[in-house]
A and B are shown apart, each in its own frame.
Chain A
Amino acid sequence: MRIPRQSLREVAERLDEKQVAGLIDHTELKPHVLKRKIRSVCDEADTHGFATVCVNSWWVPEVSRYLRSKSSRVGVASVVGFPLGQMSTESKGFETSDAIGNGATEIDMVINVGAIREMTSSSGDESRRMRELVRDDIGAVVNKADGAPVKVILETGYLTDEEIVEACRISEEAGAAFVKTSTGFGPMGAYPVHLKLMRDTVGDRLGVKAAGGVTNFLEAIRCIYAAANSPGLLRPERFRIGTSNGINIVNSLSWAKYDDSWFVEEVPCKICPNNSISKQPLEVQTVYVKKCKTCPDNAYRKFKDF
Chain B
Amino acid sequence: MQKVKGFLLIGIIMSILCSSLMVITAAEMTAEEIINKRDDNEYFDTAQMEAEMIIASGSRIITKTMVAMTDKKNSLAEFTNPQDRGTKFLKREDDLWMFFPDAEEIIKISGHMLNQGMMGSDFSYQDVMESDKLTDLYDFEIIKEEELDGRLCYVLEGIAKEGVKVSYYRRVSWVDKERFIGLKEELYAQSGRILKETKVNKIEEIEGRLIAVDSVMENKLRKDTYTQFIITQISFNPEIPEETFSLQNLR
- Do A and B pair up? The answer is no
